[in-house]
């Protein structure tokens, strides 16, 4: 099975740059996307319900903001979208999709920047991290195989961004954010990409300033984290910087179909 994640930074804009063609050619069985920034009724029918795909949508209450969606070749047993706190749920940041014994948590973690790029949203961001941790950890302890995928909006370690020294005060690489990410790893969640690739210069997001992506001055902030039970079925993990259409690139894993249980 191929399971992919992509922050599309506006699905309508990404569609104009070839999203549907990419989806069909991706070879994926499950695709989670983040930052949809559109209601389903604002999208063309071929995107809301592509032939051969099951879709699920979790838009934000605020138009043009946030939102996640799931495309899957298999029909999910069920999809939940609530963390049980309105301050999170109104922003359309989560889908928990069950496929047999596999759970896909498709998440768009908050950015810590406030309106004035003042790091004022970091407490909210960390609260979201902790609330989701508790939710997926219960699923993991219940014997399910869990993959948490999406835009985590945090570069875990210095190797995960091109200019760490310049960004220690920037949301996405603040010590408290990195510490929270590390808590997930220490708690048993596995960074699937780092499991296979320990080297530098691998990123999933680049500033839209001219030439930045070409020079690969980026951040790795998009992940697939696996519970140990899920990781036993993961065969490889990849980034796809060659895929354009957003300031992020897709990330993903290949897993054997027995992950479904």
DSSP string, 97-119: EEETTEEEEEEEPPPS--TTSSS
Burial of 54 (0-12, 13-18, 19+ CB in 10 A): middle
Q: Yes or no: say if 167 and 157 are a contact pair by the CB < 8 Å rule.
A: no
The pLDDT of 61-80, averaged and rounded, is 97
Three-state secondary structure call for residue 234:
strand
Q: How confident is the model at residue 116 (pLDDT cuts 50, 70, 90)?
A: confident
> Any idea where the domains of the chain sit in the sequence?
2-260
Q: Is the pLDDT of residue 14 over 90?
A: yes
Q: Yes or no: say if 177 and 111 are a contact pair by the CB < 8 Å rule.
A: no
**Distance of alpha carbon 108 from alpha carbon 150, whole angstroms:** 6
Q: Is the pLDDT of residue 117 over 90?
A: no
Q: Is the pLDDT of residue 33 over 80?
A: yes
**Distance of alpha carbon 56 from alpha carbon 233, whole angstroms:** 25
Mean pLDDT of the chain: 97
* Residues assigned a catalytic role: 151
- Do the strands 102-108 and 145-151 form a parallel or antiparallel pair, or are they unpaired? parallel
Residue 73 in tokens? 């070749």
Rounded to 5 degrees, φ, ψ at 204 are: -125, -5
Q: Is the pLDDT of residue 186 over 80?
A: yes
Q: Yes or no: say if 259 and 238 are a contact pair by the CB < 8 Å rule.
A: no
C-alpha closest to that of 101 among 10, 232, 223, 193: 232
Looking at residue 115, its pLDDT comes to 79
Q: Yes or no: say if 65 and 91 are a contact pair by the CB < 8 Å rule.
A: yes
**Distance of alpha carbon 2 from alpha carbon 159, whole angstroms:** 26
**Distance of alpha carbon 54 from alpha carbon 174, whole angstroms:** 38
Instruction: Return the minimum-mean-pLDDT range out of 89-93, 113-117, 182-186, 219-223.
Output: 113-117
Looking at residue 114, its pLDDT comes to 84
Q: Is the pLDDT of residue 91 over 90?
A: yes
The pLDDT of 32-60, averaged and rounded, is 97
Three-state secondary structure call for residue 226:
strand
Q: Is the pLDDT of residue 15 over 80?
A: yes
**Distance of alpha carbon 94 from alpha carbon 111, whole angstroms:** 14
C-alpha closest to that of 92 among 65, 112, 113, 74: 65
Rounded to 5 degrees, φ, ψ at 203 are: -130, 160
Q: Yes or no: say if 147 and 225 are a contact pair by the CB < 8 Å rule.
A: yes
The pLDDT of 66-89, averaged and rounded, is 98
Residue 194 in tokens? 């780092």
Q: How confident is the model at residue 54 (pLDDT cuts 50, 70, 90)?
A: very high
Q: Yes or no: say if 53 and 69 are a contact pair by the CB < 8 Å rule.
A: no
Domain at 2-260, CATH class: alpha beta
Q: Is the pLDDT of residue 13 over 80?
A: yes
């Amino acid at each position: 099975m191929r399971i992919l994640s992509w922050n599309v930074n506006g699905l309508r804009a990404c569609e104009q740059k070839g999203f549907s063609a990419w989806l069909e050619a991706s070879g994926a069985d499950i695709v989670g996307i983040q930052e949809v920034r559109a209601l389903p009724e604002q999208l063309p029918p071929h995107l809301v319900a592509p032939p051969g795909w099951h879709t699920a949508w979790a838009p934000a209450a605020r138009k043009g903001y946030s939102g996640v969606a799931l495309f899957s070749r298999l029909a999910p047993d069920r999809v939940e979208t609530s963390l049980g706190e309105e301050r999170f749920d109104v922003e359309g940041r989560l889908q928990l999709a069950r496929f047999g014994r596999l759970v896909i948590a498709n998440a768009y973690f908050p950015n810590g920047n406030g309106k004035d790029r003042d790091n004022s949203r970091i407490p909210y961001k960390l609260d979201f991290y902790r609330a989701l941790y508790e939710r997926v950890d219960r699923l993991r302890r219940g014997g399910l195989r869990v993959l948490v995928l999406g835009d985590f909006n945090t570069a875990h370690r210095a190797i995960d961004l091109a200019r760490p020294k310049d960004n220690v005060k920037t949301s996405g690489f603040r010590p408290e954010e990195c510490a929270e990410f590390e808590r997930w790893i220490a708690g048993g969640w596995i960074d699937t990409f780092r499991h296979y690739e320990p080297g530098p210069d691998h990123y999933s997001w680049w500033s839209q300033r001219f030439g930045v992506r070409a020079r690969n001055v980026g951040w790795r902030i998009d992940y697939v984290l696996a519970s140990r039970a899920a990781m036993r079925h993961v065969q490889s993990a990849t980034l796809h910087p060659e895929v354009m259409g957003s300031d992020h690139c897709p990330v993903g894993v290949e897993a054997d179909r027995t992950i479904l249980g």
